Amino acid sequence: MSEHCLFCKIARGEIPSRKVYEDDEVFAFHDINPVAPVHFMLIPKRHLVSLLEADESHAALLGRMLTLAPKLAREQGLENGFRTVINSGRGGGQEVFHLHIHIIGGGNIPPMVKRS
């Protein structure tokens, strides 16, 4: 837990969010500024800054999150698939420093890397 972390506060219910899912370990909520018709975030409840800080001790939790993602995506109507994005560190464009998996889908999802 981190006192001033935005996503810790969301997971604790101290800042309102549009909840998608919650259990003992993880919390999922809609992105406040969606880039597609469905865009939500899956986070661990325990504060973890990013994948840069992850190690073997997080393997089970991260595995759980990745296998939970398709279940939650289907429940949000993304039967045909979805994009997962994990921005890690400033070099990865991360803005909120509590690890989160973006789950994005619906509408037109273009190739992520454009090659000319």
User: Which residues are identified as catalytic?
Assistant: 100
The option from Zn ion, ligand AMP, none interacting with 94 (CB < 5 to 8 A, set by class) reads ligand AMP
Distance CA 61, CA 44 (A): 8
The option from ligand AMP, Zn ion, none interacting with 32 (CB < 5 to 8 A, set by class) reads ligand AMP
The option from ligand AMP, Zn ion, none interacting with 5 (CB < 5 to 8 A, set by class) reads Zn ion
For every residue of the chain, which 3-state class applies, written as one string? CCCCCHHHHHHCCCCCCCEEEECCCEEEEECCCCCCCEEEEEEECCCCCCHHHCCHHHHHHHHHHHHHHHHHHHHCCCCCCCEEECCCCHHHCCCCCCCCEEEEECCCCCCCCCCC
The residues that touch ligand AMP, with contacts defined as CB under 6 A, are 6, 17, 31-33, 87, 93-96
Q: Does 8 bind Zn ion (CB under 5 A)?
A: yes
Number of residues that bind Zn ion (CB under 5 A): 6
To Zn ion, the closest distance from the beta carbon of 72 in angstroms equals 20
What does the binding site for Zn ion look like in residue numbers (CB under 5 A)?
Answer: 2, 5, 7-8, 47, 98
